[in-house]
Amino acid sequence: MLTLFHYPLSPASRFARLVFAEYGEELSLIEERPWQRRREFLALNPAGTLPVLLAEGDVPIVGAAPIAEYVDETRGVFKRDKRLFAEDSFERAEIRRLCDWYLVKADDDVTRHLVRERVLKPQMDGGGAPDSSVIRAARANIRQHLRYTAYLTSRQNWLAGPRMTYADLAAAAVISVLDYMGEIDWTDHKPARDWYQRMKSRPCFRPLLSDRVRGLSPSSHYADLDF
């Protein structure tokens, strides 16, 4: 069985978990707290970032994008109409762009700041008090990303085209972290909400809805499929 080093509120880790679960692949999960900088983990990934997949032969594959490419090359190409990537090179480029939008830009704008200030600092030695100005700025940025998601999903059922792809799993991974923390107001973003409800109802999402993080309980509607 493959092993994934992850953190429950890491969007990139959640993306990797969703990819494997959508393909029906089991993973052995090891929760890693990257701020602890364990020697054994740094031997696998000197950058100390998540996720890290121990693939066949215990070869480490580091990062959400390389893991996704590896899964497509070793599993996805055999899935035909259930493949999470695209055959067309331009469609693949759009899927990659949207994965980068959510897993890099949205994470830089929003999720990593809220996770650090609200969840990680209280667990870290010398982490200090949460910075309210950082939290306010991150919360203001949420609206931009919800508007963009609503724009994409108002034009078509899925973010990158007529079927679900890596792009949808990347976006859902980010949004699910914010959903866990109760940071999303869906009031003015119905297309995005309808799309996320479909994502949340997929079998691959069930393990994520069972996640719990020390020091922060999920929002009351986190596991509710009809929120």
pTM attached to this predicted model: 0.96
Q: Report residue 188: phi and psi, to 5°.
A: -105, 20
Partner residues linked to 61 by β-bridges: 53
The per-residue pLDDT for 165 is 98
3-state SS, residue 41: helix
Does residue 116 have a pLDDT over 80?
A: yes
Strand (E) or helix (H) holding 80: none
Q: By mean pLDDT, which of 16-20, 72-76, 143-147, 214-218 is the weakest?
A: 214-218
Q: What is the pLDDT of residues 191-224, one digit of tens each?
A: 999 999 999 999 999 999 999 998 899 999 999 9
The per-residue pLDDT for 226 is 85
User: Among candidates 131, 142, 141, which has minimal Cα distance to 184?
Assistant: 142
Using the structure block, give the residue that is written with the tokens 């830089």: 108
Number of CB atoms found within 10 A of residue 36's CB:
12
Could you give the domains of the chain? 2-82 (3.40.30.10), 89-202 (1.20.1050.10)
Mean pLDDT (the chain) is 95
| Angle in degrees, CA 213, 218, 223, rounded to 5 | 115
The per-residue pLDDT for 193 is 97
Could you tell me the pLDDT band of residue 115, with boundaries at 50, 70 and 90?
very high
- Side by side, the strands of the sheet bearing 2-6 are 27-31, 2-6, 52-54, 60-62
